[in-house]
Copies of this chain bind each other. A is one copy, B any other.
Amino acid sequence: MLPFKSLTSSKQLTPEIIDQLFVVIDQMAASIESKGRIDLLDDKVVALLFFEPSSRTMMSFQSAAQRLKAGMVFAQNASNTSFEKGESLEDLIRMVEAYSDIIVMRHAQQGSADIAANISKVPFINAGDGGNEHPTQALIDAYTIHKEKGRLDSLNIVFGFDSLQSRSIHSLSRLLSQYVGNRFTFIGPKELEPNEQLLAELRASGTECLIADQVQLHDGYDVAYVNRLQEERFENREIFEENRRKYRLTKPDVENSGCLILDPLPRIDEICTEVDELENAVYFKQASYGVPVRMALLAMLLGKA
Q: Interface on A for B, CB 8 Å cutoff?
A: 35-37, 42-45, 47, 55-56, 58-60, 62-63, 66-67, 69, 71-75, 77, 83-84, 86-88, 90-92, 94-96, 98-101, 228, 265-269, 273, 284, 287-288, 290-291
Contacts and interface: CB of A to CB of B under 8 A. Distances in A.
B267 A87 contact: yes
A99 B269 contact: no
Q: How many copies does the complex hold?
A: 3
A36 B71 CA distance: 10
Nearest to A69: B71
B87 A268 contact: yes
B37 A99 contact: no
B291 A98 contact: yes
B37 A43 contact: yes
A32 to B, nearest CB: 9
Given A47-B59, A60-B99, A98-B288, 8 more contacts: A36-B43, A36-B45, A59-B73, A62-B99, A66-B71, A69-B71, A90-B273, A99-B291
B47 A36 contact: no
B291 A59 contact: no
Given A98-B284, A101-B36, A267-B91, A58 B44 contact: no
A221 B127 CA distance: 45
A269 B87 CA distance: 9
A266 B83 contact: yes
B62 A73 contact: yes
A99 B63 contact: yes
B72 A266 contact: no
Contacts of A75: 55, 58-59
A63 B47 CA distance: 9
Contact of A96 (B59, B69, B86): B59
A35 B43 contact: yes
